[in-house]
Homo-oligomer: A and B are copies of this chain.
């Protein structure tokens, strides 16, 4: 049963399992204690810290283990903001960060701080010059992910780190999606990661804070992990996390080449065989194992269910809100289509045959979902052209408003408009995206009694 959602959680690496089992026997005691079980636990903890620090590219005393990637991000951002409070209370971040970063920014704002979200290009990457433009005299911290968790696009971290260093602003890099593949290049100041993304166990995150970076841990004081991560160390899991990071890195170079080719095949075959699809994210500067595409006239939840029924586990839209299936903030920031969105992230060791089977099954599944929804097929009907049209899609959920638009666009003459009345939030994103894909003109949005009126001009 192929599992293609390693970006949410990777299956446990065999080395992690083995190390966890050994550490359950050897490392359950309190590493702060002076007796033999405590000393043994302390040795394991020290060795794990050294191994993880080597993989991150920092000194062991710069790295602490947290209880998750999310808590690493929360602690890292809060500590760095507080440490530089005298400089100011402004935070810079990209618009496509993980929710843990966005939520930290919102909490900072609620506490009286401010933040600037740097927009991204259609590829999902920030423009370094635009990022630098967001840095101000009162900027205490800048945040940038190493690679995007939803579309796989790599961010220009080294360039942004250099610009931040020039401006004297520390840069926190959320490396959750990339750390298994290699260290983060560039002069970053803080780095966070999450073990269960690289095949380690749940319950372990990393927070590295370079010497010299002003840092004031927030929340109640703690005796553990240099006061930067509260609570008893999750030692067996920490040992397993460090061991598996090392193991994954040994396999990373070869596996990256192999998965990059498989993902390349998915990108081209999907575009070719599915039709009316947008493969999003940068095709070159990307994670080796991750690809995301959006299918017109398809709703994401139904598509996931159908793929699951065929034995494929994939995810859709925003990484942390798939159960609500709200339009993803990442796709929104990129300005790409969000309907019928599928993220495929291949675990290391994925069999080529499983990918082939996925590519065999997918076009039929998409076609079936479209047929059920009454979506237009390739050639649009062309009856006698009418004047401008209004389509009422009020109360209809994504992807119906776009389907209704596509159905009637051929009925108006070139130069005339179709106005779609819709109150579904996704329409605001998907109607312009459809226009871009179909090379029709998106005229704009007008207020309406209920919802909004989206005006589209037929160009061809």
Footprint of B on A, CB under 8 Å? 1, 3, 5, 8-9, 11-12, 17, 20-21, 24, 28-30, 32-38, 67-71, 74, 78, 99-100, 103-104, 106-107, 194, 196, 201-203, 205, 219-223, 230-237, 301, 304-305, 307-308, 312-315, 320-323
- What CA separation (Å) do A230 and B301 show in the bound complex? 25
Do the beta carbons of B230 and A34 come within 8 Å of each other? no
Do the beta carbons of B67 and A320 come within 8 Å of each other? no
Mind listing 29 A-B residue pairs with CB under 8 Å? A1-B36, A3-B37, A5-B33, A9-B29, A24-B201, A34-B301, A35-B308, A35-B312, A35-B313, A35-B314, A35-B315, A67-B68, A67-B71, A67-B234, A68-B230, A70-B222, A70-B230, A70-B231, A71-B230, A71-B231, A99-B223, A100-B231, A104-B220, A107-B219, A202-B235, A219-B219, A223-B320, A223-B321, A234-B234
Do the beta carbons of A202 and B33 come within 8 Å of each other? no
Do the beta carbons of A100 and B230 come within 8 Å of each other? yes
- What CA separation (Å) do A53 and B139 show in the bound complex? 45
Do the beta carbons of B219 and A74 come within 8 Å of each other? yes
Do the beta carbons of B103 and A28 come within 8 Å of each other? no
Do the beta carbons of A308 and B202 come within 8 Å of each other? no
Q: Given A9-B29, A30-B5, A203-B234, A220–B107 Cβ distance below 8 Å?
A: yes
Do the beta carbons of A8 and B34 come within 8 Å of each other? no
Do the beta carbons of A37 and B313 come within 8 Å of each other? yes
Contact of A69 among B37, B38, B232, B305 (CB under 8 A): B232
Contacting residues, chain B, for A30 (C-beta < 8 A) = 5, 8-9
- What CA separation (Å) do A250 and B2 show in the bound complex? 40
- What CA separation (Å) do A219 and B220 show in the bound complex? 12
Extra pairs beyond A21-B21, A28-B201 (12, CB < 8 Å)? A9-B28, A34-B305, A35-B304, A35-B315, A67-B234, A68-B231, A68-B234, A74-B230, A103-B222, A194-B232, A202-B236, A237-B237
- What CA separation (Å) do A410 and B106 show in the bound complex? 69
Contacting residues, chain B, for A312 (C-beta < 8 A) = 35
Contact of A220 among B37, B74, B304 (CB under 8 A): B74
Say how far A265's CB is from chain B's closest CB, in angstroms.
Answer: 22
Which of A202, A230, A320 has the most CB atoms of chain B within a 10 A radius of its CB?
A: A202
- What CA separation (Å) do A74 and B219 show in the bound complex? 8
Q: Given A107-B220, A219-B74, A304-B35, A28–B236 Cβ distance below 8 Å?
A: no
Contacting residues, chain B, for A3 (C-beta < 8 A) = 29, 35, 37
Do the beta carbons of B67 and A323 come within 8 Å of each other? no
- What CA separation (Å) do A17 and B304 show in the bound complex? 34
Which of A9, A100, A315 has the most CB atoms of chain B within a 10 A radius of its CB?
A: A9
- What CA separation (Å) do A236 and B17 show in the bound complex? 12
Contacting residues, chain B, for A201 (C-beta < 8 A) = 24, 28, 234, 236-237
Q: Given A34-B301, A34-B308, A205–B231 Cβ distance below 8 Å?
A: yes
- What CA separation (Å) do A205 and B70 show in the bound complex? 17
- What CA separation (Å) do A362 and B111 show in the bound complex? 55
Do the beta carbons of A232 and B9 come within 8 Å of each other? yes
Do the beta carbons of A36 and B202 come within 8 Å of each other? no
Say how far A343's CB is from chain B's closest CB, in angstroms.
Answer: 11
Do the beta carbons of B20 and A24 come within 8 Å of each other? yes
